[in-house]
Amino acid sequence: METIKAGTEKLSNVSQQLGATLYEAEQAAGADAAGEEPHGHGDDVVDAEIVDEQK
């Protein structure tokens, strides 16, 4: 029983370390991407509002 408990505890610790490493990697990647400007497709898009003049 002690062997299973020790193995489970070791697995839990390794899993937590893996999760922390993945979290840090995602945070670093997110910080890099946040500094970049979005890439457009070269389209000249104009935001407009439709006005119904026939009231």
Going residue by residue through the chain, which has 55 residues, state the pLDDT in tens, using 9 for 90 and above.
999 999 999 999 999 999 999 999 988 887 666 656 666 666 777 888 888 888 6
The pLDDT score that the predictor gives to residue 22 is: 94
Q: Any idea what DSSP says for residue 38?
A: P
The CA angle 39-41-44, to the nearest 5 degrees, is 110
pLDDT for 55 equals 64
d(CA 21, CA 27): 10
Q: What is the pTM of this model?
A: 0.50
pLDDT of 17:
97
CA-nearest of 7, 25, 29 to 17 is: 25
Predicted local distance difference test score (pLDDT) of residue 48: 85
The token duo for 24 is 């840090």
